[in-house]
Amino acid sequence: MAVRSTAAPPTPWSRSLAEAKIHATAFVHPFSNIIGDVVIGANVIIAPGTSIRADEGTPFYIGENTNIQDGVVIHGLEQGRVVGDDGQEYSVWVGNNASLTHMALIHGPAYVGDNSFIGFRSTVFNAKVGAGCIVMMHALIKDVEVPPGKYVPSGAIITTQKQADRLPDVQPQDKDFAHHVIGINQALRAGYLCAADSKCISPLLKEQVKSYTTNKVNGLERSNEVASSLGAETIEQVRYLLEQGYKIGTEHVDQRRFRTGSWTSCQPIEARSVGEAVAALESCLTDHSGEYVRLFGIDKGKRRVLETIIQRPDGVVATSTSFKAPASTNGSYSNGNGASYSNGSGSGKLAAETVQQISQLLAGGYKIGTEHVDERRFRTGSWNSCKPIEATSTSEIVSALEECMDSHQGEYVRLIGIDPKAKRRVLESIIQRPNGQVVTSGSSQRSFASAPSATATATATATRLNAEVVDQIRQILAGGYKLSLEHVDQRRFRTGSWNSSGTIAANSEREAIAAVESALAEYAGEYVRLIGIDPKGKRRVLETIIQRP
């Protein structure tokens, strides 16, 4: 396979004419350009349209298992160096298992640590991104050092060290998403190398391979799977789990018990190779035809990762799956960081954002509860608890929530997140209303009021607040309650360390709305929640988040 790489051009500051050093197991697309002193490690994939140009700033290093996707540009200034993990100086250092995704720009001096993810069209210039960081789309990181394990949201501009230090930590679902990208690109690398090798590709083209096998061509393990009942991506997921040191488990459940999340384990899988694991999975599928079957990985902490349904009662075996964090087996949701997950089997009763909230609460070690109230008692805040939820998995909690909603149709139902150590609430979110409407939008508001009236909608037309929040403000004032606001940044949000901005001294609804909007502008980039306070009982009658970062 032709690899398009050339020596560095002679310049006033360098006449070394250095050339790239590319590991034999790496895949470099011929429509990419690699110039100068660039070291490319084992199992790297460099996609079409990339430009890695060590002609001004030099040298560059790209670590093992890293993927450089379409349109990525890596360049460096003549001046300025970073210290790589080997103690040497580089213009650009990219560690192992990193992902530089479509159209990203890494401009030296720059350092990207192991297991880091740089999202679409994001820029890293004169900066260091620590190991295990997740940088989402269209972000700018310049003149700072981002500590390891930090999450940079889409569109963020991080140009001061204070901003970098205040970034939130990466969550488990973010790590799983980054691992998923690595796994997908390793499969692509093997596929591209196979396609360029007649010995590897011929059996596939002639459709002569009837069972799953592994062949080693030029020292590289390739997968050839045609007639297996498992999809190619499921097999690749199995390989990825084994390579990462995870154990593999399977569970099954019939249609009746599926809604209650009462899964039963299949026979334990003790396989040491992909072929053995695939055979065990197919045995489970055969033994439990007509049922749901799901695959998951188990880490050393005995926690589940990458839970995926691979068979459904109609006999359909999943042919295209996604590696995903432990999640609901009902419906689909997004992790909020650009990765969407769906198992296609849910009831659709809960909104995607609600399922995500449940997953995040569990990941944070919080407990989950539910409350309900009819329309008459809603205005007084007299909520009643539903049946306690002792479940520890997202799917079981979703089932419990739907049971509460079914039992209290025509009422408000809200989801509660509880910090068991501090014995306080960290989240309240209405998930059902008396008119049967379930919250389905991904809006940042968490509503605690009835559906907005036409009057409220008209009042809110010229404001930043939506009609529902305006209606809440109106109800609080009409009930003789006082208004207050609290705010908190992303890092302190998980600990519930809210800061009060004081009571709003407004004599009219319009003044109150103006005060709230002023606070939202002042605390842009933070969580802001609206508080209703009973001055006589000195207690809160309402808490609702009206702005998110």
Q: How sure is the predictor about 5, in pLDDT bands with cuts at 50, 70 and 90?
A: confident
Rounded Cα gap, residues 128 and 147, in angstroms: 8
- pLDDT of 89 > 80? The answer is yes
Return the CATH number at 315: 3.30.190.10
- What residues contact residue 367 under an 8 Å CB cut-off, 6+ apart? 361, 389, 417, 418, 420
Q: How sure is the predictor about 344, in pLDDT bands with cuts at 50, 70 and 90?
A: very low
Choose between 339 and 5: higher pLDDT: 5
What sections of 307-393 are H helices per DSSP?
Answer: 352-363, 375-378
In the set 19, 56, 390, 511, the catalytic residue is: 56
Residue 70 lies in a domain: yes
Q: Report the amino acid identity of residue 473.
A: I
What is the sign, positive or negative, of the torsion defined by CA atoms of 114, 115, 116, 117?
A: positive
Range of the domain at 134: 5-170
Q: How far apart are the first and last CA of the chain?
A: 47
- Quick one: 24 and 138 in the same domain? yes
Residue 377 lies in a domain: yes
Residue 293 lies in a domain: yes
Average pLDDT over residues 356-380: 79
Report the SS3 class of residue 161. Answer: helix
Percent of the chain scoring above 70 in pLDDT: 79
Choose between 319 and 132: higher pLDDT: 132
- Quick one: 223 and 322 in the same domain? yes
Residue 194 lies in a domain: no
- Quick one: 44 and 147 in the same domain? yes
Q: How sure is the predictor about 4, in pLDDT bands with cuts at 50, 70 and 90?
A: low
- pLDDT of 321 > 60? The answer is no
- Quick one: 9 and 156 in the same domain? yes
Kindly list the distances between the CA atom of residue 474 and the CA atoms of 37, 198, 358, 460, in Å, as whole numbers in the listed order. 66, 73, 30, 11
pLDDT digits (tens, 9 = 90+) for 472-527: 888 788 778 888 898 888 877 766 778 888 888 887 888 888 888 888 888 888 88
- Quick one: 107 and 164 in the same domain? yes
Residue 197 lies in a domain: no
Q: How sure is the predictor about 192, in pLDDT bands with cuts at 50, 70 and 90?
A: confident
Provide the domain count of the chain: 4
Is 511 among the catalytic positions? Answer: no
- Quick one: 51 and 148 in the same domain? yes
- Quick one: 234 and 312 in the same domain? yes
- Quick one: 17 and 126 in the same domain? yes
For 192, the enclosing helix (H) or strand (E) is: helix 172-195
Rounded Cα gap, residues 134 and 128, in angstroms: 13
Residue 77 lies in a domain: yes
- pLDDT of 433 > 50? The answer is yes
- Quick one: 374 and 304 in the same domain? no
Return the CATH number at 95: 2.160.10.10
Residue 186 lies in a domain: no
Highest mean pLDDT among 65-79, 202-216, 313-327: 65-79
Paired residues of 30 in beta bridges: none
Angle at 409 between CA 408 and CA 413, to 5 degrees: 60
> Among residues 147, 131, 144, which one has the least CA distance to residue 63?
131
- Quick one: 484 and 535 in the same domain? yes
Kindly list the distances between the CA atom of residue 363 and the CA atoms of 39, 44, 170, 234, in Å, as whole numbers in the listed order. 38, 32, 11, 25
pLDDT digits (tens, 9 = 90+) for 231-251: 666 777 788 788 777 888 888
- Quick one: 419 and 460 in the same domain? no
- Quick one: 147 and 270 in the same domain? no
Q: Model-level pTM?
A: 0.43
Q: Cis omega (within 30 of 0) on the bond before 109?
A: yes
Residue 222 lies in a domain: yes
What sections of 134-273 are H helices per DSSP?
Answer: 161-165, 172-195, 198-205, 232-243, 255-258
